[in-house]
Amino acid sequence: MILINENYPKLPGSYLFSDIAKKVNEFKIAHPDANVIRLGIGDVTRPLPPAVVQALHSAVDEMADSASFRGYGPEQGYDFLVNTIVENDYKARGLDIAADEIFVSDGSKSDTGNIGDILGLDNIVAITDPVYPVYVDTNVMAGRAGEFVDGRWSKLVYLPCTIENDFVPSLPKSKVDIIYLCYPNNPTGTTLTREQLKIWVDYALENKALILFDGAYEAFITEDDVPHSIYEIEGAKEVAIEFRSFSKTAGFTGTRCAYTVVPKAVMGYTKSGEAVSLNKLWNRRHTTKFNGVPYVIQRAAEACYSEEGKKQVKATIDYYLNNAGIIRAGLAEQGLKVYGGVNSPYIWVKTPDKVSSWGFFDYLLNDLHIVGTPGVGFGPSGEGYLRLTAFGTLENTKEAVSRLKKISI
């Protein structure tokens, strides 16, 4: 008899964005002439930067020549990309991250989900609420989440991020072992200052806890007091793993490249209290289950750091931030409470009075032909909110805002 992982049936019927896609497809079938503007899923619309495209072409040409052809590469990433990351993302900010602490991968979604492979099932996990669903679902799959009761998982520690606390999570009242932090935040678009992030690093140091810091949107930061890396906080190299991505910054959502930083100073512990290097464990997992990002893709990622590449990537980020500003202003004009969109491509909007997240989603889709993401899909504290993204085209963003001015509920 074939036995299954009985944690999987505990999950809700499908992934949040699959539910949204199903609703949108059903609407399109019923209304084939409707011009639906999608501001829901965080997918990009700008093309790859020219420097990246040129690097792709050059790398493909190399693969066509037996003298320069590449087969299997190092699972952790080619030196040319890893060293470029070290110089530009860390040394340029005065941070001491070594090349063998960086692991190139096919996406931060993959890594934030897979990191649990090296962590024990008895760890108590804390998540901000609302939260990126992958953090929750992968812990459910592993068996750390318990049972789903009244919209919450029984073993997870929820850290509410609401208007009342300015979307800044408070330290847990009970001891936790693993803490997921995503800043700039997906979904709320809000951030933590250095002082606010230091509180979490100090907690982790005091309690031998691990921070899983998702920095996929750090390139969108515009304010000086918002750290681009958790390693800007003293002591973080002892307690934090950082995830970065090229998806939203350079348009790699369909190209797939990211990296994870696991400092050698970060330790986990056996039940007997013996310290074990998480860097070594992740290296073992990574080399066993992953064969590396394709050579041509890594050359493309390297091109993001060239002089022209940096200018082109910044132009793309500025484009999306401009969209975010347009959406923020349009919603504010309607008298709605709006958050995010300053250091992030996400706008978090409070729904009109007494309208639920899914109710507002349905209204926007059916009446205004706009797709958002219902906040409750990100957790209990997301009820009464909706997330919009700035990743659409400028034209569609302006059109969406003109439609949003017709909100009448």
pLDDT at 409: 81
State how far the Cα of 257 lies from the Cα of 192, in Å rounded to an integer. 26
For the chain, what are the domain ranges?
A: 11-47+308-404, 53-305
Q: Which CATH number fits domain 11-47+308-404: 3.30.565.10, 3.90.1150.10, 3.40.50.300, 3.40.50.1360?
A: 3.90.1150.10
Greatest alpha-carbon pair distance for the chain in Å reads 66
Identify the pLDDT of residue 14.
67
12-28 pLDDT, tens digit per residue, is 866 677 788 899 999 99
Which token pair is 380?
Answer: 């209990």
Distance CA 16, CA 136 (A): 12
pLDDT under 50: residue ranges of the chain: none
> Is the CATH number 1.10.10.10 carried by domain 53-305?
no
CB contact at 8 A, 161 and 191: no
Predicted pLDDT of residue 19: 82
